[in-house]
């Protein structure tokens, strides 16, 4: 992986003490601190991963996600793939996503969403789509793939613009919801 630039230096994405863009409970903040501590200490294993198109050049989007979890996020120049890199190893991912920690950490209400609730989450996450459009106004993406896409709300605006979208997540309940909304979506194995 070769990071050739940074799209922004916004404290939302780079400053550890910057407040989360999400309203977090005390329990969520504690889980996030524990998770970041486990990554820093090596208790949660991470490794560099290759881009699906084998491209090496990428641009750094963020070091922290919106919850303040340390999660370096990149966009690959050749294909537009956005992914966390380094990522948790397969074993670490399986441990997190098969536990209750994941949903407790991010958003416990998303487990049993109705289609009506889905649109609330689309509106709530629209700033991400707007940010990508602002930073890459002349993009010619023909498709967007999001691995670990939750309920697919980040993909919805691309679909509405006629761009092919594919999402994948480990959550069975979210997979059923998004398939009902006609997004191409698969439960990850």
Residue pLDDT, tens place only, 92-124: 987 787 666 777 777 767 766 777 777 888 888
Same-domain status, 62 and 118: no
Token output for 128: 């991400």
Planar angle of CA 40, 37, 1, nearest 5 degrees: 35
What is the four-CA torsion angle of 152, 91, 98, 54, rounded to 10 degrees?
10
Residue 71: is its pLDDT beyond 80? Answer: yes
Query: Are the beta carbons of 6 and 60 closer than 8 angstroms?
Result: yes
* pLDDT confidence of residue 65: 85
- Which of 49-58, 63-72, 163-172 shows the lowest mean pLDDT across its residues? 163-172
Do 173 and 100 fall into the same domain?
A: no
Rounded to an integer, what distance in angstroms lies between the CA atom of residue 120 and that of residue 90? 31
* Reported confidence tier of residue 14, pLDDT bands at 50, 70, 90: confident
61 and 78, same structural domain?
yes
User: Average pLDDT, whole number, for the chain?
Assistant: 83
Residue 142's domain spans which residues? 110-189
Kindly state the tokens that stand for 85: 């890199």
pTM of this prediction? 0.59
Same domain membership, residue 177 and residue 101: no
What's the number of domains the chain is made of?
A: 2
pLDDT digit string, tens, across residues 29-50: 888 899 999 999 999 999 999 8
How far apart (Å, rounded) are the C-alpha atoms in residues 10 and 18? 10
Backbone φ/ψ region at 68: left (φ over 0), alpha (ψ -120 to 50), beta:
left
Whether residue 92 sits in one domain with residue 162 = no
CA distance between the termini of the chain: 26
């Amino acid at each position: 992986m070769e990071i050739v630039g940074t799209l922004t230096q916004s404290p939302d994405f780079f400053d550890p003490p910057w407040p989360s863009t999400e309203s977090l409970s005390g329990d969520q903040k504690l889980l996030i601190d524990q998770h970041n501590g486990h990554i820093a200490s090596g208790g949660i294993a991470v490794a560099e991963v290759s881009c699906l198109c084998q491209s090496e050049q990428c641009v750094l989007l963020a070091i922290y996600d919106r919850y303040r979890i340390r999660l370096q996020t990149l966009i690959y120049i050749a294909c537009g793939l956005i992914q966390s890199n380094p990522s948790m190893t397969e074993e670490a991912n399986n441990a997190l996503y098969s536990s209750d920690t994941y949903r407790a950490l991010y958003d416990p209400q998303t487990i049993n969403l109705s289609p009506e609730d889905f649109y609330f989450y689309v509106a709530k996450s629209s700033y991400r789509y707007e940010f990508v459009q602002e930073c890459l106004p002349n993009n010619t993406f023909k498709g967007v793939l999001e691995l670990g896409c939750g309920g697919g709300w980040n993909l919805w605006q691309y679909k509405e613009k006629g761009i092919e979208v594919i999402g994948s997540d480990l959550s069975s309940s979210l997979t059923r919801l998004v398939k009902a909304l006609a997004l191409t979506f698969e439960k990850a194995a």
